[in-house]
Amino acid sequence: MITGELKSQIDQIWNTFWTGGITNTITIVEQLTYLIFIKDLDETEVRNELKAKRGFKYTPVFVKEQQDFRWKNLKELDVNKRHELFNNNVDGIFPFIRNLGKDKSLFSVYMRGATFGISKPMVLDQVMEKLENIDMTNQDTKGDIYEYLLSKLEGGGTAGQFRTPRHIIKLMVELMKPTLEDTICDPSAGSAGFLVGAKEYIDKHYSVTDLDKAAEHINKEMFNGMEFDATMLRIASMNLYLHGVEEPNIIDVDAVSKDNTISNAYTLVLANPPFKGTIDKDSISPGLKNVTNTTKTELLFLALMLRQLKTGGRCAVIVPDGVLFGSGNAHKSIREEIVANNKLEAVISMPSGVFKPYAGVSTAIMIFTKTGTGGTDNVWFYDMLADGKSLDDKRNLLVSEEAFNAFAFGNGVEELSKEQIATLHDKFNLPDIILRYSNRYKENRKRTEQSFMVPFSEIKSNEWDLSINCYKEIVYEEVKYDEPKVILERISELELEKNGLMQKLKASL
């Protein structure tokens, strides 16, 4: 989450908009997002220019006539001339960014709605000056900014929609290990954090040659999402574009509605769908109700993921704990569908503070494979007790920033030695989860430990209950008490001591 200096910087920018007469929250979010996009676009170009000196091939974003549109040059211009470039709707900056995507691509469709909304040159100047002072190079600052901005939107979070913390995204991506052959989807894309996380993983695990060979697939087919909020559609598209996906396929649709007819299309789903909320019965895609007859979105999304995955496709999804043990028919039916008719791989319980301060709900990560014919043998359970941050509203780091960032913003578990992982474990379980998940069938751990296996037959006999507390064994240490005679003697001694002190006190009066 956003705290400290960064929060103060964004608040100052927010106040600049307000004092400049721009008070509509959505307008501020959109305008600030466009400016961040333009700034990052230039920074990406600078990095590519430096790599080009080492033989890297790329197509420049800015041609010779568009050099004034680059952030590094914009900030040097006269205040009024700069504002004219932004305000020019024929050959200015906004026509430029509206036409960045390929013709007829979804990116270009969403960006056509991008309009400049800062009427005063001095407001633009002050906002750009403040943005210039924010370091976005060494961490996922854009995501933190989006999270904070979105929390300001009226009704933000009321539908259970919260940005997934970067280190949790990293954990899920590392567990699923996306490949160049995958076609990846997030049906509740938001700002596209999961898709960006998957792209970063692929960039780090494949050579430039392999990435070049798969460029067509990466740019047009690999990254898919669903989102019906216009602001989020643009943010997600810009986020993926900046991470090297030229034609991100983010569809404007309510994922669980009749309008979404996609099925058997993806090999990997990564998602954190809304935790709560309902949809009108008549709007629900009919096929989903056949799996779980409900209006609850958290259950409908699970049915949707099964429908959208190809046979053999994998899914890692965050669900509220109620999905794991809810006693209603709809809850039981979706769990039975996943466990009995497909292959449930793992349930990773997370502490309730992971989404604070925006939500205190307890959650878990479910990992499953679509088979359509069953296949669940043993399900791996892990009780995550610590995610590296305090579980209160402050969410302060409990481990060194260097170690945390090495995992969350570096190469994940590869950045840490086994000795470091063991040392960090009491306060940071995520590296241990990745190591143990890959070796889960080789271990034979007791149910008193943090992770263990549960057979299919036991889950079935428990009405498909997937809560870890249903299976975890707690060892109670025996407490030995002194014999009553010894305790009474001790009480008598204390009584005598007390009386002696009372006598001394009275004598001193």
User: Bridge-partner residues for 270, per DSSP?
Assistant: 316
Where in the sequence of the chain do the CATH 3.40.50.150 domains occur? 166-470
- Architecture in CATH of 4-151: Up-down Bundle (1.20)
CA 416/CA 59 separation, integer angstroms: 36
Instruction: Say what the pLDDT of residue 139 is.
Output: 47
Round to whole Å and give the CA distance between 240 and 143. 12
Coil, helix or strand at residue 366:
strand
Three-state DSSP at 227 gives strand
pLDDT in tens, the chain (509 residues): 566 788 888 899 999 999 999 988 878 888 988 898 888 888 888 888 888 888 777 788 898 889 999 999 999 999 999 999 999 998 899 988 888 766 556 676 777 778 899 999 999 999 999 999 887 665 456 656 765 776 665 434 433 456 788 899 999 999 999 999 999 999 999 889 899 999 999 999 999 899 999 999 999 999 999 998 877 888 888 888 878 888 889 999 988 888 999 999 999 999 999 876 667 777 888 788 788 888 888 899 999 999 999 999 999 999 999 999 999 999 999 999 999 999 999 999 999 989 887 777 899 999 999 999 999 999 999 999 999 999 998 889 999 988 898 888 777 788 788 888 899 999 999 999 999 999 999 989 999 999 999 999 999 999 999 999 999 998 777 778 888 988 888 899 899 889 888 888 888 87
Rounded to a whole number of angstroms, the distance between the first and last alpha carbons of the chain is 61
What's 464's DSSP letter? T
Evaluate whether 74 touches 96 at the Cβ level (below 8 Å): no
Instruction: Write out the CATH class of domain 166-470.
Output: alpha beta
Q: What is the pTM of this model?
A: 0.80
> Tokens in use for 420?
């470091």
DSSP 239-276: HHHHTT-SS-EEEES-TTBTT----S-EEEEEE---SS
Distance CA 261, CA 263 (A): 6
3-state secondary structure of 438: helix
Tell me what pLDDT residue 317 has.
98
pLDDT for 442 equals: 92
Residue ranges, comma separated, of all CATH 1.20.1260.30 domains in the chain are: 4-151
Model pLDDT for residues 182-198, shown as the tens digit of each residue: 999 999 998 898 999 99
Q: How far apart, in whole angstroms, are the C-alpha atoms of residue 322 and residue 324?
A: 5
Which H or E element spans position 320? Answer: strand 309-320
* The pLDDT value given to residue 467: 96
pLDDT, residue 364, reads 97
